[in-house]
A = this chain, B = another copy of it.
Amino acid sequence: MAVAWLDEIKWTGDGLVPVIAQETGTGKVLMFAWMNRDSLTETVASGKAVYWSRSRQKLWRKGEESGHEQIVKEIYLDCDEDVILLEIEQLGGIACHTGRRSCFYRRFVQGQWQEAEGVVKDPAVIYAHRGKE
């Protein structure tokens, strides 16, 4: 079905659009992922971030395993209509699968990537129930 606001987006050849997730209030950039039409449609309908997992080739309802859902506050589209910026509230305060607040925890310092942000919660605890259901 033709949906004007979806059709305004310039999707890649694979039908995807890159998405930046930024924490509302702090402005911290938490993660980067991809969406397809279905995931963006569901994001808008549910008010929670739903990405497209390129590795698993399926909808990725952020937080479905970890509980770290992202409540969407605002959605922005860029000048070229091919990148989306989400302002979100990060439940649990952890966006990264490593148990850190943000995925961007390595800082470039004198020719090396140095860890600049510690683990808030052990992933073994976050994903303790994975595969048991």
Which A positions have Cβ atoms within 8 angstroms of B?
Answer: 4-5, 8, 18, 20, 22, 26-29, 31-32, 44, 74-81, 83, 85, 96-98, 100, 103-108, 111-113, 116
CB distance from A56 to the nearest CB of B (A): 14
The 10 closest A-B pairs by CB, nearest first: A27-B27, A75-B108, A76-B104, A78-B103, A77-B106, A32-B83, A85-B104, A79-B103, A78-B104, A77-B113
CB pair A78 B32 closer than 8 Å: yes
Asked if B79 and A29 make an inter-chain contact with CB atoms under 8 angstroms apart, the answer reads no
Looking at the assembled complex, report how far the CB atom of A28 sits from the nearest CB atom of chain B, in whole angstroms: 7
| Residue pair A32, B18 in contact (C-beta under 8 Å) | yes
Report the bound CA distance from A18 to B16 in whole Å: 14
In the complex, what residues of B have CB within 8 A of residue A29's CB? 20, 22, 29, 85
CB neighbours of A116 from chain B (8 A): 76
Question: Looking at the complex, which one of B85, B98, B107 makes contact with A79 (CB distance below 8 Å)?
Answer: B98
Q: Is the CB of B26 within 8 A of A77?
A: no
Q: How far is the CB of A38 from chain B (nearest CB, A)?
A: 17
